[in-house]
Amino acid sequence: MGGTAGLGLSAARACVAEGARVVAIGRDSEVAAAAQSTLGEQAHVMTGDATNPEVAARAVSEAVKRFGGLHGLYHVAGGSGRRMGDGPLHEISDEGWAYTMNLNVTSVFYSNRAAVRQFLAQGTGGTVLNLGSILGVSPSPHYFATHAYAAAKAAIIGLTRSAAASYAKQGIRFNALLPALVDTPMAQRAMNDAEVMKFIATKQPLEGGRAGKVEDLDAAAVYFLSDDSRFATGQVLAVDGGWSVTEGQIPGK
């Protein structure tokens, strides 16, 4: 879910390169067409909204029909609710809260539920990887005070770990990746703010201090989606350039 641009498309390319056959989903038909061209014949790209419960079920059915079964799910779909009213707790609108939770938590529930139902029906086990955010565990209030988003990303960790505990006996694994600031379409507010980027240079100090690139998460995604991680479940891995262990320096402070 969310596999036609940014982190999702990069991971899909990496999985295809390793021999996987992929069903990728995105909301925009033109973006989806471009992704199909990029991914080639080993992938089938669909359009759909991850907040619609029917879309995840349809994607799973498509994978079963085309490829004979489902072995892994990577849920990337989500995004900022800032323009809808997310922000510091005392400023969040009811609409902003509902929108952000629906986009970032309910969509994960729909896709994870659809995947588990298929894994159980197959009796094969499987792997689920959910994309969270470092903001769910390591806040940064000066530039990134969107509390509904942080709460949503923390909820993904709770769902991932509790599901990992519940379904381990069936061979169904759940893990999560936590990026910090990555140069994606969603991140352009920060990427185009010189002051924020000075902060990022100190908050994400690896490789000289920079924003993440989408491909920085590819190896971790391939690992968790493959049998290489067959003995790992309930794990939450930060791929954050050092964000979670670094103070960061606010310019002028």
**Hey, CA dihedral for 17, 19, 21, 23, is it positive or negative?**
negative
In three state form, how does the secondary structure of 139-177 look? Answer: CCCCCCCCHHHHHHHHHHHHHHHHHHHHHHHHCEEEEEE
Q: With beta carbons less than 8 A apart as the criterion, state whether 247 and 140 touch.
A: no
Q: With beta carbons less than 8 A apart as the criterion, state whether 29 and 4 touch.
A: no
Determine which one of 99, 110, 149, 167 is catalytic.
149
Kindly state the tokens that stand for 3: 């596999």
**Hey, CA dihedral for 13, 107, 130, 197, is it positive or negative?**
positive
Q: With beta carbons less than 8 A apart as the criterion, state whether 144 and 249 touch.
A: no
Told to judge if 149 belongs to the known catalytic residues of this protein, a careful annotator would answer: yes
Q: To 5 degrees, how large is the angle CA 31–CA 6–CA 173?
A: 115
Catalytic residues: 149
